[in-house]
Amino acid sequence: MNDRYSRQILFSPIGKQGQKSIGEKHVLVVGVGALGSSISEMLTRAGVGKLTLIDRDYVETSNLQRQQLFSESDAKEKLPKVIAAKKRLADINREVKIEAIVGEADVQTLENFAPKIDLMIDGTDNFDIRFILNDIAHKFTVPFLFGSCVGSFGSTYTIIPNHTPCLQCLLKNIPMQGQTCDTVGIIAPTVQMVTAYQVAEALKILSGNMDAIRKTYITFDLWENQHLSVKSNDAIKNKACTTCGEERTYPFLSYEAQTKTALLCGRNTVQIRPSQTFSPSIGQLCSRWELAGYIVKQNPYLVSVHKDDVRMIMFKDGRALIHGTNDPVKAKKIYYSFIG
Q: Which helix (H) or strand (E) holds 119?
A: strand 119-122
- Sign of the four-CA dihedral 222, 227, 233, 239: negative
* Number of other residues whose CB lies within 10 A of the CB of residue 290: 12
Residue type, 319: R
Q: Which residues of 127-152 are buried (b: 16+ CB within 10 A; e: fewer)?
A: bbbbbbbbbbbbbbebbbbbbbbbbb
* Cα–Cα distance for residue pair 46/40, rounded to 1 Å: 10
Q: Which of 166, 181, 241, 244 is an active site residue?
A: 181
- Sheet of strand 26-30: strand arrangement: 97-102, 50-55, 26-30, 119-122, 144-150, 153-159, 216-221, 226-231
Largest CA distance in the chain: 67
Q: Are 100 and 82 in contact (CB under 8 A)?
A: yes
How far is it, in rounded angstroms, from Cα 321 to Cα 274? Answer: 11
Q: DSSP strand E in 160-315: where?
A: 216-221, 226-231, 260-264, 269-273, 295-298, 302-307, 310-315
Phi, psi for residue 193 in degrees, rounded to 5: -65, -45
- Helical packing angle, 81-92 and 34-46, nearest 10°: 20
At residue 147, the 3 state secondary structure works out as strand
Strands 295-298 and 269-273 come out as unpaired
265 is catalytic: no
What span, in angstroms and rounded, lies between the C-alpha atoms of 311 and 324? 7
Give the Cα separation of 174 and 233 in Å (integer).
Answer: 13
Whole-number Å distance between alpha carbons of 206 and 233: 23
Query: Which positions are catalytic?
Result: 181
